[in-house]
Structure 1
Amino acid sequence: MTGTTRRATKQREAVESYLSDGATFVSAQQIYAGMREQGSTIGLATVYRALQGLVEDEGVDALRTDDGEVVYRRCRSGSHHHHLVCRECGRTVEVEGPAVEQWADAVAGQHGFRDISHTLELFGTCDHH
């Protein structure tokens, strides 16, 4: 366990377990409601804290939808990646973008920034629509 890894809590493990059942991105409100339906007594603030820790430890992907809502899904790959998201059905594909990484590093360097991070989501309509 590294120094930056947070201590696992029962609530955090429960949120992570709930997310492992779904293939699509869901909001914190949906996670909260789903867990309550399953009999959990978890609070909404606890769900948000658990999600933040899971995102920081890269166990959960978070993305901002086209309309600005943040949604979450269990991370499927262990490496840095981006998402293609269908506006119609929500289908999401994880993609790597080495050109994006090179561009981000170059732009940051030109402006004297280092130790940068970024997120990138691409929205469109998949072939199923």
Structure 2
Amino acid sequence: MTEPTHDVDAHPVRRNTKQRDAVMSLLGSVDGFYSAQELHVMLRDRGANVGLTTVYRTLQLMAESNEIDVMQVPGSDTRYRRCSDRHHHHLVCRGCGRTVEVLGPAVERWADRVGEEHGFTDVSHTLEIFGTCAGCKR
């Protein structure tokens, strides 16, 4: 097996594999965040021959290259979702896990201001807002 090549920014160039394509295709066809185990079951149900370790490794590589969003839900496994390319935040239902992408210009301004006040540059952040959706409230 050959080592991945590196681009000028020193980020490894990832080979597309059947397993990676299967994971990316699945993430593109489902809505919401899912754990690696849930994604593995969905892949198996679709007839994909992908091991759980491969799913974890693929999700990690995709997260490192910012192809997917990662969310740590309190008291739960890490969850993954293919999201839009623009910077956004998530509103997540505690009951069913339904997720809505939301923009937060006030949060962006606040994060930049706090960074500046403390002498930080190149500030980044993530924000998840948890609540109960209307369907779960009933």
The whole-number CA distance in structure 2 between the counterparts of 1:111 and 1:46 is: 41
Aligned residue runs from structure 1 range 25-44, under 5 A? 25-44=33-52
Q: Does 1:70 align with 2:78?
A: yes
Please give the alpha-carbon distance, in whole angstroms, between the structure 2 residues aligned to 1:127 and 1:65. Answer: 20
- Quick check: 1:89 aligned with 2:96? yes
**Larger of the two Rg values belongs to structure:** 2
What residue in structure 1 maps to residue 60 of structure 2? 52
TM-score (normalised: structure 1): 0.83
Answer whether contact 1:5 1:57 (CA < 8 A) is retained.
Answer: no
Q: Secondary structure at the match of 1:71?
A: strand
The 1:5/1:100 distance shift into structure 2, 3 A limit, reads farther
* Segments ≥4 residues shifted beyond 4 Å: 1-5
CA distance in 2, matches of 1:98, 1:12: 33
Match of 1:103 in 2: 110
In the other structure, the counterpart of 1:124 is 131
SS in 2 for 1:80: coil
Identity %: 51
Q: Which moved more, 1:19-28 or 1:43-52?
A: 43-52
Matches of 1:117 and 1:47, distance apart in 2 = 27
CA offsets 1:58-114 (integer angstroms, 9 cap, x no match): 332211113242111121x22010000111222111001111111112212222222
Q: CA RMSD in A?
A: 2.2
So what's the TM-score if we normalise by structure 2?
Answer: 0.78
Consecutive unaligned residues in structure 1, runs of 5 or more? none
* Total equivalences in the alignment: 128
Question: Which amino acid in 1 is paired with 2:50?
Answer: I
3-state SS in 1 of match to 2:90: strand
Task: Using CA pairs under 8 Å that are at least 6 residues apart, name the structure with larger relative contact order, 1 or 2.
Answer: 1
More displaced 10-residue stretch of structure 1: 40-49 or 85-94? 40-49
